[in-house]
Amino acid sequence: MPEESLLSGRMKPPDEPLDASGLRFAIVAARFNHEITERLVEGALECFTASAASDVPVEWVPGSFELPLAARALAETRGVDAVVALGAIIRGGTPHFDFVATETASGLMSAMLETGIPISFGVLTTDDIEQAEARAGGEHGNKGWDAAATAIEMARLVRRLEKPDEDAGTL
């Protein structure tokens, strides 16, 4: 994991190095606030490359509100082990921010639970552009990288849990 990715400075790193080999991923990204989202996509792709994933497609949607439908479609039709959803919702002067942020998060969670495929939440919800820039390769790392790392970790976990292990005993 590169130094600039701090996983918010609070998350304990995984016990084992990230290994995406043999797994399939897809990214869905919002074009709204594209200056930020493109940097998140770059971070996610860098993480996948560093972790031995290859040929990760990127699908673009108009805005973050459209991410849940596209993420669900990717999970259901592309044979992926996980999807990374990336976007940037920046607070403005109206309640629109609250509606979009809430429904985007809820929609992505619903899509993940309904498909059984991990969908990593890489949607920034910030008060201003400066906070978004700080989290898209700035002083707070690249949350695109973090979202890809989460997708790899969750894809490995789900794959492991789907295969019974006689030696594992009971939980």
What CA–CA distance (Å, rounded) separates 88 from 27? 14
DSSP string for residues in 101-132: HHHHHHHHHHHHHHH-S-EEEEEEEESSHHHH
Q: How many whole angstroms separate alpha carbon 170 and alpha carbon 153?
A: 22
Catalytic residue check, 96: yes
- From residue 153, alpha-carbon distances to 79, 108, 126, 157 in Å are 17, 18, 25, 6
Q: Which of 20, 120, 1 is nearest to 71 (CA)?
A: 120
Query: Which three-class secondary structure state does DSSP give residue 83?
Result: strand
Q: Which of 96, 129, 159, 161 is catalytic?
A: 96
- Catalytic amino acids? 96
